[in-house]
Structure 1
């Protein structure tokens, strides 16, 4: 069965990955170097590595079911499922381990509707969701850390520590919104009852809000990948999808 979508036709790469054919080629080269195309026992892969990477990206971008996606690549539903399970973790973003002294980070949590109720809980969006703590570099807007997903009813203040994001950042200066009180992060000044904020505090809050908005812009770009609007993957699948999409986002920004 011949497929419709293939990486050998460059026009398919940009819509599904957001990468130029040159960037996509570099990504495939890195994955091959990391062992993604190693010879394995049993049945060989039905698609070359380039097409397998494109398939995973297409799944994350469109959120089509396996039954819908597989014919587009000319393979079976079970083969498409195996490719996603194998390559998804390999596409994951590796957290940055070191930060320059003058680095400023921004953290915020985002909810991803997730159908696996073993890891999701009903949240403020009234859907079963997972809470993902995402940390970006304030200067470059690159994603540097993504915490492990927690149930969606977990507030950001607890999720910051429990997801592992706090440990990954260490003592690096990090900006957050008002939902992180008592965490040691740089948060907006709060007005006490019966008091007004001084002019300098109001000015600081305005500057803080403008800088913190950068992480919201990152979320807006990442949520164009439809799997982050309704994730059907189980177990670590939603975590791998978030990390893989973060890596694609960084590659796009890096040029």
Structure 2
């Protein structure tokens, strides 16, 4: 290997945000999903651990293929091939409704991610070409339970939620959402109308609702430490794979 980066604790922790034990767990998952290939043929120019490191570094730093190539001692074309082959294998597996679903509280919210692919995003309220990504987290553990495929950023959260298919992962679980999720089955804040002020106790309910729902905003902030979610240059399913992989790595950092 003629590159700079090595699969060593210093480099892994610095460039991916994962501890070595967490990174080894990620490599194990990718291997179990067939990351080494079906067998036969020419061997990969990068060992699996280096390939996983490459994809994780790409998502963490959002460096270009030309910038990543000398770090791993390969060509930009090889960097592209490794990312294309492995990105789907880093994906988070959506959680099924837990056994104690009635006692659990999940939080849903959408975040806007700037994208370059005009077939994925749309001009949105952040004045950029963005995609709307719906994410569910567990209120207690802060773990990401599931994410939806990106939708154009000019669509309302409630519409994206209804079309996302995420509701099937929430059967029996209480789901908390902000005011944009009215009439979706999620618990939303009390609304103040011109002809009806908030009743006694409703303002306190709203304050508690905001306090708990803030946890999903904190999750978004941690996930966006992976700079691919601040300006995604990938096309097609690239953003979807990036969100899934980042959610998986986010969960690894919390579960340790």
Common fold: TM-score over 0.5: yes
CA distance, structure 1, for counterparts of residue 186 and residue 21 of structure 2: 39
Note if contact 1:136-1:145 (Cα within 8 Å) is conserved in structure 2: yes
1:27 — aligned with what?
Answer: 26
> After the TM superposition, which parts of structure 1 deviate over 6 Å for at least 4 consecutive aligned residues?
none
State the Cα distance separating 1:41 from its structure 2 match.
5.2
State the Cα distance separating 1:98 from its structure 2 match.
2.3
Which stretches in structure 2 are left out of the alignment for 5+ residues? none
SS at match of 1:174: strand
Does 2:96 align with 1:94? no
State the Cα distance separating 1:40 from its structure 2 match.
4.3
CA distance, structure 2, for counterparts of residue 14 and residue 161 of structure 1: 38
Distance 1:57 1:41, change over 3 A: same
1:68 — aligned with what?
Answer: 67
Note if contact 1:135-1:144 (Cα within 8 Å) is conserved in structure 2: yes
CA distance, structure 1, for counterparts of residue 10 and residue 91 of structure 2: 24
CA distance, structure 2, for counterparts of residue 181 and residue 223 of structure 1: 27
Count residues in correspondence.
254
How much is the aligned-residue C-alpha RMSD, in angstroms?
1.3
State the Cα distance separating 1:17 from its structure 2 match.
2.2
SS at match of 1:199: coil
Note if contact 1:132-1:150 (Cα within 8 Å) is conserved in structure 2: yes
CA distance, structure 2, for counterparts of residue 111 and residue 35 of structure 1: 32
Does 2:144 align with 1:143? yes
2:133 — aligned with what?
Answer: 132
Which stretches in structure 1 are left out of the alignment for 5+ residues? none
CA distance, structure 2, for counterparts of residue 104 and residue 149 of structure 1: 24
CA distance, structure 1, for counterparts of residue 165 and residue 39 of structure 2: 33
Note if contact 2:179-2:189 (Cα within 8 Å) is conserved in structure 1: yes
After superposition, residues 199-214 of structure 1 pair within 5 angstroms as: 199-214=200-215
